[in-house]
Structure 1
């Protein structure tokens, strides 16, 4: 399985990247990391990663799944990124798994794929507002699957989130 993981350059949530990456790779998945710019990215807790691709280089249909990592940086770097919205929309439209954790379900809302879809998000007012405004059916569950969209509310559920991705993709 090929999984594209999307990160913000600054302040991504480390566990939401590191835990799923470890679980996915242990199951034999190839993980490719993408972000909006080149360079070394730094998580909220200090982990570092150099993405393999920038958004302009991503071909969404090359992947079985796209996973968007949250954290404080996602609001600044990901929520309103039109290239990312296009990547997400193409993957969703083609029936690929589109997964987002913490604050990043807001990207799915702004990409226009959450209308009438059950979803969850980290309980920050701006994030819950983004989902409601997009017509999402907001749930209090830690993990919500609706069609080919998987959402998770935060880092405490990162392992379970990755396991659910594997279950869906197998």
Structure 2
């Protein structure tokens, strides 16, 4: 079983987190059955952007990274405290250890910023929310910021906004399983024609 750890910072964006939850979950039930997703955070109850409450499966301190194959990081809103959690040393250390263990790291939108701040994207290609302030912040972490919607460099996926959430989640699934399996899940979810 391939396990995905979804790390949630206070003020994370619901749409971006739910893309990972749905795609990995659909694969568990309707795809090849080989993936599971678990959530973690700095505290048990996390509020998302727009103040929805979520209870995570684990605290970051409880995570054994060897149990997981990939880390998923949704972005969030500064107004709801996203960077306070996302830039904390515990959050950044988790990202660093996933990189040291050569595991897949998939981020959406400003989820790329803690990846950049952790140092693992220094000298690599990446992207983030298509906003001048956020792009400059990523550049200041030593990242070669590109204008692509989704960038993959050395097992690290970054993307430019919420509209890429499902594409990033499907890319993660493809990396964990196969292109053929991912296409089957996309068909079942209605993103590809059954005739393809």
Q: TM-score, normalised by structure 1?
A: 0.91
Partner secondary structure for residue 110 of structure 2:
coil
Larger Rg: 2
Match of 1:63 among 68, 73, 79: 68
- Give the Cα separation in 2 of the matches to 1:74 and 1:46: 12
Please list, as runs of the form range in 1=range in 2, the aligned pairs for 1:1-170 lying within 5 A after superposition.
1-9=2-10, 11-28=11-28, 29-39=35-45, 41-45=46-50, 47-72=52-77, 73-78=81-86, 80-170=87-177
Distance 1:47 1:95, change over 3 A: same
Q: Which moved more, 1:41-50 or 1:149-158?
A: 41-50
Deviation at 1:60, TM superposition (A): 2.0
- Give the Cα separation in 2 of the matches to 1:54 and 1:42: 15
As a proportion of its length, which structure holds more helix?
A: 2
Aligned CA RMSD, in angstroms, stands at 1.5
- Give the Cα separation in 2 of the matches to 1:18 and 1:45: 14
Structure 1's unaligned 5+ residue stretches are none
Moved segments of 4+, more than 6 Å = none
- Give the Cα separation in 1 of the matches to 2:26 and 2:4: 13
- Give the Cα separation in 1 of the matches to 2:44 and 2:65: 18
Partner secondary structure for residue 39 of structure 2:
strand
- Give the Cα separation in 2 of the matches to 1:127 and 1:59: 31
| CA-to-aligned-CA distance 1:52-81 (integer Å, 9 cap, x gap) | 111111222221000111111422221x21
Q: TM-score, normalised by structure 2?
A: 0.79
How many residue pairs match? The answer is: 167
| CA-to-aligned-CA distance 1:71-103 (integer Å, 9 cap, x gap) | 11422221x211111111111111100111111
Deviation at 1:42, TM superposition (A): 2.7
- Give the Cα separation in 2 of the matches to 1:6 and 1:100: 10
Structure 2's unaligned 5+ residue stretches are 29-34, 178-196
- Give the Cα separation in 2 of the matches to 1:30 and 1:47: 23
- Give the Cα separation in 1 of the matches to 2:50 and 2:14: 6
